[in-house]
Chain A
Amino acid sequence: MNSSPFRLWEEFASGGAGAIYTFFGTPWIVKGICLLVFALIVWFLLSAYRFEGRGRT
């Protein structure tokens, strides 16, 4: 998946471009990633409750 905000080496190497991270040019994907991170945190917290008390069974 092409996620680079740069097409040319000169743009990337100039250092003047600021943000260089993946999908910087497509902000909706970055927001989608953040949403997915949040969903995984919720899954993790629910799992933490579910895995409790195994020693008592």
Chain B
Amino acid sequence: MNPVLELSELRAGYGTGDILKGVSLYVERGKIVTIIGPNGSGKSTLLKTLIGLVPVREGDILLNGQSIRAFGATRRVRAGLAYVPQEYNVFANMTVLENLQISHEFAARKGHRPAGNVLSDELRELFPELAGKLATRAGNLSGGQRQMLAFACALSVRPDLLILDEPSAGLSPKYMADIFKSVERVNKTGVSVLMVEQNAVEALAISDQCIVMANGRVRLDATARQVEQMDLHELYLGPLAEQAA
């Protein structure tokens, strides 16, 4: 087994307490893993810790077998991570083109692509709507288009692991379906995906593995198919709620 990501006993948090209370999990290369769980379980914090926005207190993060715990965010991106935050995930005062250019320039320095089109054919295919809006200020895009742009920028750097924080949040059903389709297509090109989602049903449908978090810990780590069989309501409101209390 060659996991692209491995976490061991990760503890992290803001302020005085720990939000992540010892998280251990791994993401197999080329798979899509979805994290679900009640609010406040630390899902978002986990992603922020992975990308380097929240400091690690204990434990380790291994990307492609290499410890990235001591890396700053920029170095982690260079090492093969890409992160799409839930909110404020585009540079609102810059145009779509400029947003893409920033990621493109980073990728060029990383050595992943020769000087080519900022909006490559691949990206153009995945996100056709962006092609016509290159000169639009990112803040003026609709929610769904912003999400597309954020996604495109993350993909631009050719990550090994794409980390998504609630990619479908606040999107209309059409865009939601589009996003999940895009995640699938991207995954088929070899990019591993780790995402946090509230729209569990749609997310699990495209996932390979599912991790359930509550209270800063992993409560369940099973295949997506197995979790789909479970009654999610019971999962959230029943045993997990008791454990969380």
Answer yes or no: are A and B bound together in one complex: no
